Chain A
Amino acid sequence: MDYNLFGNSGLNISKYALGTIPFSGTKGFEKVSDMDQETANYMVDYALDQGINQFDTANLYAKGDAEIVLGKAIRNKRHDMVISSKTGFPLTDNPNDVGATRINIESSIDATLERLGTDYIDLYYVHCWDGQVPVNETVQVMNDLIKKGKIRYWGVSNYSGWALAKTHTLAVENNMMPPIAQQIYYTPESREAEYELLPAGKELGIANSIWSPLGEGLLRVK
């Protein structure tokens, strides 16, 4: 397995990462999988054994249950795992439980850390662009979380090219930490990330991490 520094950061990550959408397979994610804790533990062990050090989750996956399963699978391996999670999609009807706002990000990270059973995560993504909140608010709160030691780095996911550049520029022009990675959808069937996102990430020092490389199961063909 090859390792590289993730974007313009000191975080060393494996080329392959283990995703956790199928962990648990409950709370609306029954179509994705039906996975028990023992299998999840095996997956973490096997991935680590194969040199994979990156484990990705989100509060969206099984509405928090995937984080609980990943958290139990950490056992005594926390130091060897680079763990990322995400927030932004609504999980409740509370109008403040959504988006890239200070109130949602601050409450989401605490819930995520509790479910994972860890004091910090390595990388925290905004799961989708929020055009209803000032970018400055998002950048500020992510930098605050870094200062509090709750996250080490932050990133974005599913942004448009201009939104990525706006976010990055606003951060660096104000001497704040910009996103170090973006998680984006890219498969041979769907290559639109080449238009803007992939070259923008490279030019900005934002690592390009690909979610669902098999097209959400579309390319899992015999």
Chain B
Amino acid sequence: MVPLGRGATTGKITRNKKAEPGTRQGNGWPEPYIKNLDLFYNLVDLLQDVAAKHKATVPQVVLAWLRDRPNVDSVVLAARNKEQLHENIASYNLKLTDEDISQITDLTALEPIYPLWHRAMNSYDRASNAEKVYLDAYNKLMNSKSQDI
């Protein structure tokens, strides 16, 4: 196993820095659709903080968060060079703390679109087991927001 953080990253997309040529995003690849650019930049800031704390890289933090999300069975990694390959696979040794995980999960919490807000609010007990974890998160988000009108 390669130590965490050895791999040189090349992307460097942040609020203050555009994607660089020689990377997929910097080369004008059209995907993905970014729904909320502010949230994306805030997420990058948070991921950089978590990565620094673990002496890891942002991609490694993303992969460590993703592989332990509920109902994720497999994660397909790709790399354009050996360094990225080593970096990606070494993320398997990165163990995030519960706090790291909840910070990332809370920042990127999904809005409960209908019928999910209604089901989370009114018929949680009758949900399928695999979806309860998501309904919990919707209830948490709804309870955290003021509904005074």
Residue positions of A touching B, CB distance < 8 A? 1, 4, 6-7, 13-22, 25, 30-35, 39, 42-43, 46-47, 50, 52, 54, 56, 181, 183, 185-192, 194-195, 198-199, 201-203, 207-222
Contacts and interface: CB of A to CB of B under 8 A. Distances in A.
B43 A189 contact: yes
B149 interface: no
A185 B76 CA distance: 10
Given A17-B74, A190-B32, A208-B72, 11 more contacts: A6-B74, A56-B76, A198-B69, A198-B134, A207-B74, A209-B74, A209-B76, A213-B75, A216-B24, A216-B31, A220-B84
Contacts of B28: 31
Nearest to B91: A16
B49 to A, nearest CB: 12
Contacts of B63: 213-214
Contacts, number: 198
Contact of B78 (A14, A22, A208, A218): A22
Contacts of B40: 189, 218
Interface residues of B, number: 62
Contact of A208 (B35, B74, B82): B74
Contacts of B29: 31-32, 216-217
B66 A186 contact: yes
